Amino acid sequence: MYGRQYTRGMAMLGYALLAAVALVPVAANSAPIVAPVEVMVLGAYHFGNPGLDTHNVKVDSVLIPKRQRDLDRVAKALAMFRPTHVMVEMQSEAPDFAIAEYASFNDAMLAKEANEIVQIGYRTARQAGLKTVNGIDEQSKDGEPDYYPYSKVQETAAKFGQTAALEALGVPVVAWLKNFEAAQKTHSVGQMLLKMNDPAGIQGNMDSYYGMLAIGDRDAQTGADLNAAWYLRNAKIFGKLMQVAKPGDRVLVVYGGGHGFWLRHFAGLVPGYRNVDVLPYLAKAK
């Protein structure tokens, strides 16, 4: 008898709780669903190759007809992402980081400007029907710390007998670049970009950067300083992207391949943002 009364009492309590819950407004139903900003990062090799990287690659001319056809296919493939913004590795003083030069972009510019900003960034923006390209790059101003103080790392390595260890970090990079250079003979630009953005490739990890963390001593940790500065530059780049992007936007970022790791990191982890894999789009441009 006691058991039946206890069970009946518990059942009535359960009904009361369910009724109370039903009266509480559900937050998910009252709050609007905010669409994420989708970010697709294309890590590019420098077509004009200014020789400013620690390790540089020799690039075949992209101005010849064959490469121009390759680049047309790349732009059409990337435009399938339906970007609402194209953002590139260039600085702009405009409030929205708009690049004034893009307003005069035409086929004549494509015929003479051998750099990835024009050849991929501008070309894809035009293909997507965009009126603006945003320049979100970040560079040190006079008196500010260097974002990539590699020479200081070299000096510290020499001081503490770590030069061999530092040079060893570059061996896989040099080998990968030689393979990359050789592949140009048989690969289209689209295929070369697939190699550049392959997460299993040299640009898919931070091994050479993280290896530098050990360079120095307890007081002069210049390898750690370099990693912190490089992170800071990329954080500021992504911060500029965030100042422009709105919920639901689709942002194509065309940047040097060395930035890809951190820019994808931010796109994948910053709340309200989603990283989009560029490889399926590049595969359509082969």
Reported confidence tier of residue 10, pLDDT bands at 50, 70, 90: low
Q: What is the pLDDT of residue 132?
A: 98
Q: What is the pLDDT of residue 9?
A: 52
pLDDT at 277 over 70: yes
Residue in 169, 188, 192 with CA at minimum distance from that of residue 179: 192
Which helix or strand (DSSP H or E) is residue 266 part of?
Answer: helix 260-269
Q: What is the pLDDT of residue 48?
A: 79
- Tokens 């709050």 locate to 31
Percent of the chain with pLDDT over 90: 80
For the record, the structure tokens of 272 come out as: 């309200």
Q: What is the pLDDT of residue 143?
A: 86
Cβ neighbour number for residue 10 with a 10 Å cutoff: 10
- Delimit the domains of the chain by residue range: 37-283
Question: CB within 8 A of 188, min separation 6: which ones?
Answer: 70, 73, 285, 286
Reported confidence tier of residue 145, pLDDT bands at 50, 70, 90: confident
Which CA distances in Å does 119 have to 131, 198, 199, 209, 215?
A: 16, 21, 24, 29, 38
Q: What is the pLDDT of residue 33?
A: 86
Which segments of the chain are extended strands (E)? 37-44, 85-88, 134-135, 250-256, 273-276
pLDDT tens for each residue of 17-43: 455 445 545 555 566 789 999 999 999
Half-sphere exposure of 4 (CA within 13 A, CB side): 1
Cβ neighbour number for residue 37 with a 10 Å cutoff: 22
Q: What is the pLDDT of residue 266?
A: 99
Percent of the chain with pLDDT over 70: 86
pLDDT tens for each residue of 257-266: 999 999 999 9
What's the CA gap between 229 and 21, in Å, rounded?
A: 51
Reported confidence tier of residue 201, pLDDT bands at 50, 70, 90: confident
pLDDT tens for each residue of 91-131: 999 999 999 999 999 999 999 999 999 999 999 999 999 99
- Tokens 């139903």 locate to 29
List the 37-44 sheet strands across, edge first.
134-135, 85-88, 250-256, 37-44, 273-276
Residue in 276, 256, 249, 272 with CA at minimum distance from that of residue 264: 276
pLDDT at 13 over 80: no
pLDDT tens for each residue of 73-87: 999 999 999 999 999
Reduced DSSP (H G I as helix, E B as strand, rest coil) percent helix, strand, coil of the chain, to 5: 55, 10, 35
Residue in 28, 5, 127, 112 with CA at minimum distance from that of residue 78: 127
